[in-house]
Amino acid sequence: MQFEVWAPEADSVVLEAADVRSPMERDAEREGWWTAEAEAGDGDRYGFRVDDGPLLPDPRSRRQPDGPDGPSAVVDQEAYAWHNEWAGRRLNRAVLYELHVGTYTPEGTFDAAAARLGHLAELGVTHVSLMPVCPFPGVNGWGYEGVSLWAVHEPYGGPEGLKRFVDTAHELGLGVVLDVVHNHLGPSGNYLPAFGPYFTDTHHTPWGAAVNLDAPGSDEVRAFLLGSALAWLRDYRLDGLRLDAVHALADTRALTFLEELSAAVDALAVELGRPLGLIAESDLCDPRTTTPRTAGGLGLHAQWNDDFHHALHTALTGESQGYYADFARAPLAALAKTVTSAFFHNGTWSSFRGRSHGRPVDVTRSPAHRFVGYAQTHDQIGNRALGDRLAASLSPGLQACAAALVLTGPFTPMLFMGEEWGARTPWQFFTDHTDPELAEAVRNGRRREFGEHGWAEEEIPDPQDPATRDRSCLDWAEPEREPHARLLAWYRELIALRRTLPDLHDPDLAAVKTAFDEDARWFAYRRGDLRVVVNLADKPAAIPLGLGRHRRSGGRVLAAWEPVEAPGPDGVLHLPPESCVVLADD
């Protein structure tokens, strides 16, 4: 078979495959590329020696059986026999479920996670959104320190394990989205600089030198990232990609990498005959991220909406530190602003940033489903000092209110694993760095960061302690007992409503009408013939909703967390404390 590698600055490259060394030759047609033929088959180890250096893994390795520091292995992508024909699922009616393979089950493997996918099918979600699965040092970690962007973490089950997981998901009618990280790699186990200018000092990032998207040599770097993204979608039959922190992609080109990527993915969708989606994590509050390329945007299909999360979180918890400060001044007003115009920061002052932030959304041209709404994510839980979920501090009633606002709201909803039953297990920051110096730096950095915010050092979980990961695994006995079982039934009921009621798919943000009372702590909105009302207070609320659209009566109850009657002739809804209801006009 033929091996190839891009090493533009090398004087010599040697391929070592199946214990045989073969000098590589410069490719006459592709600048900087080296090629060689060698006898090798599925599973055979190989690597490259650049200028007589150590054996290094292939930058485009499809498998790292011995971890990021070991040799690569040949993968026969045609060897797996897929069991299902899959037509795909679109994102515009999706209910996403963020899942970390390593803690979804105690076993922490693709196969163990696949065995639990029936739970998600019964829940009613449409897409599993996997956190990163590229190889990283050790066994356990979040995955954002991956170093081989074409390969699959071996302790999870490697390439075949991922294919079995996707196959099982598709058999159950579930799409699969994968989180990929293009803005940084490593640092441990990152050998790309030995091959070429994959990074540049032209831009500075929190992780050091930036991925080279616009400096000399960047054509091949961009092709490397594009090829990786398309390989995930094609070879593993994924339905989409979640792009980590796209605001950290330093790119000054007229045609940006994200535009190139969205065009390539759209073309692949046509080729494969099934829908594919790109979901951005972006801190920019910029609607151009998801504006079509033909209208001057980047053409991504959806983006996470942290502003909605922050408004909802402050309304539920009263927290006001850090980036919550702007939202905590009037959290229900902030929530109303986000559900009607997507972003809270749309050119407004951000005290956290010390400047104005964001750009207004033209709600007449930005469908609501292009924004992903959520009450919890891996970031918003795991980046807390103790990794505590909302369930650690909120009553089941308030958790039910959060679910109602996420699952009946205008945005594409997303849940974080275990949220649906109010999991009491934390989800903490954990690592398994094999480099002792890096492990100690991460440990001390975590303690220092939270120590500055008043936490005692001994309270901060040690990321390197295996117990930190073990504490973060879901407890699958919880959904069988109260109060978890009741909350799980509520999530199922709300998702079923979302699936069956057309008003809950309406993409028109301008049509959402809100009402609220900051002091009384109730919030309501109308979507078509539906009204959703939550009472966040610890006492009953008399809420003047007015009559239904046709003014015949106050409507009927479709779903309620606590027993409640529809508004009477006076249009007043009497809602129990920490409760919520979905109403339909008669």
- Label residues 95-132 b or e (16+ Cβ within 10 Å = b): bbbbbbbbbbbeebbbebbbeebebbeebbbbbbbbbb
User: Is the distance from CB of 206 to CB of 187 less than 8 angstroms?
Assistant: no
Count of alpha carbons within 13 Å of 410, Cβ hemisphere only?
30
Alpha helices in 454-554 (DSSP H): 466-471, 484-500
Query: Can you tell me the distance from the alpha carbon of 16 to that of 376, in angstroms, rounded to the nearest whole number?
Result: 47
How far is 85 from 413, CA to CA, in rounded Å?
Answer: 27
The DSSP line for 421-432 is GT--S-------
Bond from prior residue into 8 cis (ω within 30 degrees of 0): no
* Of 321, 243, 337, 245, nearest in space to 283 by CA: 245
**CA 309 and chain centroid, separation:** 14
581 and 561 in contact (C-beta within 8 Å)?
A: yes
Rounded Cα distance between 319 and 72, Å, is: 47
Chain centroid offset of residue 513 CA: 29
How many residues in total does the chain contain?
586
- HSE at residue 528, side-chain half, CA atoms within 13 A, is 14
Choose, from 167, 244, 260, 585, the residue flagged as catalytic. 244
Active-site residue, 244 included: yes
Catalytic residue among 145, 214, 239, 281: 281
CB atoms within 10 A of CB 265: 21
Can 562 be counted among the known catalytic residues? no
Which residue type is seen at 325? A
- For helices 396-407 and 484-500, the axis angle rounded to 10 degrees is 20
Q: φ and ψ at 235, to 5 degrees?
A: -75, -30
Side chain identity at residue 551, one-letter code:
R
CA distance 356 to 350: 5
Cα 421 to Cα 477: distance, rounded to the nearest angstrom: 11
Enzyme catalytic residues: 244, 281
